[in-house]
Amino acid sequence: MGLLYESTRGGETGVTASEAILKGLASDGGLFVPETIPCLDVTVEELAGMTYQETAYAVMKQFLTDFTEEELKYCISHAYDEKFDTEEIAPLVRAGGVYFLELFHGKTIAFKDMALSILPYLMTTAAKKNDVKNEIVILTATSGDTGKAAMAGFADVPGTRIIVFYPKDGVSRVQELQMLTQKGANTCVVGIHGNFDDAQTGVKKIFGDREFAKEIDQMGFQLSSANSINIGRLVPQIVYYVYAYAKLYANGEIEKGEKVNVTVPTGNFGNILAAYFAKQMGIPFDKLICASNDNKVLYDFFTTGTYDKNREFILTTSPSMDILVSSNLERLLYLSCGRSAEKTRGMMEALSGTGKYEITEDMKNFMADFRAGYAGMEENAAMIRKLYEDTGYLIDTHTGVAAAVCAAYREASGDAAKTIIASTASPYKFSRSVVEAVCGKQDTDDEFELIDKLEKLSGVPIPQAIEEIREAKILHNRQCRPEEMKETVKSTFSK
């Protein structure tokens, strides 16, 4: 038998990779994890000579064992093609004494493209493998980037529909325009009058509603997710960490076996969890530095051992990280308590009931690889400005959080290990915040005036993804309250 998956809450075991990808979320509300984390079967010397696509196959074949070599290579070759504007797919740039892993060269200029370019291919292949006759409805909550990247991936894919919920006043204008102008007869975008946690909680409730699942099954539909709760999102993210380490070695930046730190800006915990999985596969990462913004629930968790979402929700200049319920942390909790579904379920019930839970000393020790820090909006802006003034290199506001946290960690700890920073979005996606970080407050309300100014500052041409929305027509205008989400989903099935 190949590698199988189980739910973090114990309700499902022995699930194949293709079944887990199709389901998205387990029927008991848990997240799918592999029964064991596999090891790479290639050396760093071999990885150093591989293209991104070859690295993707070396990693993903270990997790998606019920996909044939032909199926997996087909998915990879169609995902990582000319839609990325660099041949490397995920280039490394050295600036300010660290290595920025640029994950924003895809169609929607954010790191979500790295996984969401391949997920539609994995999903449709999985549907064929499992003889699925229903139309697959991708239901997703977004804090700004997943929604556009998912819609771009699934637009007009036969046998699928996609419904995206986003916080109406909680994303950048560019993020919102990217979603609202998305073409595709099977796409639907809905602005929530609430924050991302409201959208994410609403989506999870819909997935957990068995009566609703039966009802839509009779209508010929079934739900799946493009959020990072889907293992088909998480596995492709492991690839770029393996690739980055191999490139450092290939370029002579590190010795064989040299340990490297990784700093990741994260709210939902998926992106840094992928780095953790890469380490478990055999990549010599040392510290995994979890960078939070003002919504520092993860920083507080790693510092105190208590996860507590009972706090003010702050809208920041790094909106994709404005999250108080970090869904992917459940996977790490499950592993850290010895894969006890009972303990994991108890913590998730406590989070749902009281808004908080505590972990044991043993679980804290299990998480010793992780470090945490946070950067407020002023520190973030100061780091963007300093890096630009020192090197001419411009980063976005999420990467700014990571860079500030990384610098603070290095100074406090004296840890001089070489460091990869996950650079998660193009500065163009957050043009106002980036321009204001460098040049001070801007008087104009014209987003595209700021984008033109950013081009002059950075010397980097405006990406096609931005030019496309400059004159694009608004195609989506639906809005709802969180309690209306299920009815909103239902109403799309009559289309």
In whole angstroms, what is the distance from residue 192 CA to residue 169 CA? 8
Place of tokens 């010895």: 338
Catalytic residue (one of 23, 61, 107, 112): 112
Q: Beta strand pairing status for 285-292 and 187-192?
A: unpaired
Say if CB 31 and CB 328 are below 8 A apart: yes
Q: Which contiguous run of DSSP H or E holds residue 144?
A: none
- Which helix (H) or strand (E) covers residue 381, if one does? helix 377-391
**Which letter, b or e, does each residue of 307-334 get, where b requires 16 or more Cβ atoms within 10 Å of its Cβ?**
bbbeeebeebbbbbbbbbbbbbbbbbbb
- Residues with Cβ within 8 Å of residue 349, at least 6 apart in sequence: none
Active site residue 259: no
Helices (H), 251-294: 270-280
Taking a C-beta distance cutoff of 8 angstroms, is the pair 293, 376 a contact? yes
With a CB cutoff of 8 Å and minimum separation 6, the contacts of 492 are 161, 163, 188
Distance between CA atoms of residues 454 and 434, nearest Å: 8
Buried residues in 108-142 as b, exposed as e (16+ CB within 10 A): bbbbbbbbbbbbbbbbbbbbebeebeebbbbbbbb
C-alpha to C-alpha distance for 107 and 463, rounded to whole angstroms: 9
As a whole number of angstroms, the distance between CA 52 and CA 240 comes to: 8
Chain-centre distance of CA 452, in angstroms? 28
Backbone phi, psi, residue 285, to 5°: -80, 145
Count of CB atoms situated within 10 Å of the CB of 35: 14
Regarding beta strands 356-358 and 306-308, do their DSSP bridges make them parallel or antiparallel, or are they unpaired? antiparallel
CA distance 283 to 420: 13
Catalytic center residues: 112
